């Protein structure tokens, strides 16, 4: 039973890994960044709900962009110096970019999370790498000459 679950997990992880490899190629070659026209920049995105959207960007080496408004926040002027009506929280580094912006008197916030594509690529490569390692190690142990003891 465990072997079947492991093999199924390896298959799912392999498919997701290959999907993210293709997605990475798209971010590098397809130019998924916003298009600019006279009315501003327009992002191409998929909406998972009214307040949860997903897009791709080639910036920062390729990434997944999650956001809750019509456009993701990627940095701009929020208010004038000394203006206390804007609250900004954020984190930038290690392949992550997060901003949460709130306005005084409003309950709604504007948030954006950008995750480097390296995270899903590495995560989904782990199980297939373990499986390949087991197969290679299993072949070496099975082809060992008679009378040869294992180390240890």
What are the mean pLDDT values of the chain's consecutive 10-residue runs (152 residues total)?
84 93 84 69 82 86 88 74 76 90 82 92 93 81 57 54
Residue 59 confidence (pLDDT):
77
Alpha carbon distance 134, 7 (integer Å): 12
Residue 126 confidence (pLDDT):
94
Residue 140 confidence (pLDDT):
60
Query: Which of 39, 45, 89 lies closest to 67, judged by CA?
Result: 45
Residue 80 confidence (pLDDT):
63
Query: Which of 75, 71, 55 lies closest to 115, judged by CA?
Result: 55
Q: Any residues with CB less than 8 A from the CB of 120 and at least 6 apart, and which?
A: 16, 20, 64
Alpha carbon distance 3, 69 (integer Å): 44
Residue 60 confidence (pLDDT):
72
Cα dihedral 80/83/87/88 (nearest 10): 30
Residue 62 confidence (pLDDT):
84
Burial tier of 77 (Cβ tally within 10 Å: 0-12, 13-18, 19+): exposed
Q: What is the pTM of this model?
A: 0.74
Residue 108 confidence (pLDDT):
82
Residue 138 confidence (pLDDT):
77
Note the helical H segments in 69-117. Answer: none
Name the strand (E) or helix (H) holding 118. helix 118-142
Residue 122 confidence (pLDDT):
93
């Amino acid at each position: 039973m465990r072997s079947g679950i492991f093999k199924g997990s390896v298959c799912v992880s392999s498919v997701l890994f290959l999907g993210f490899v293709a997605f990475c190629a798209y971010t590098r070659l397809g130019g998924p960044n916003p298009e600019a026209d006279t009315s501003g920049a327009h992002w191409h995105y998929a909406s998972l709900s009214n307040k949860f959207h997903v897009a791709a960007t080639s910036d920062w080496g390729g990434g997944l962009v999650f956001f809750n408004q019509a456009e993701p926040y990627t940095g701009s002027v929020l208010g004038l110096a000394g203006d206390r009506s804007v609250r900004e929280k954020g984190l930038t580094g290690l392949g992550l970019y997060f901003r949460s912006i709130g306005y005084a008197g409003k309950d709604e916030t504007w948030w954006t999370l950008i995750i480097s594509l390296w995270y899903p690529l590495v995560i989904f490569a782990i199980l297939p790498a373990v499986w390949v390692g087991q197969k290679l190690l299993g072949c070496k142990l099975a082809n060992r000459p008679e009378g040869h003891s294992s180390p240890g």
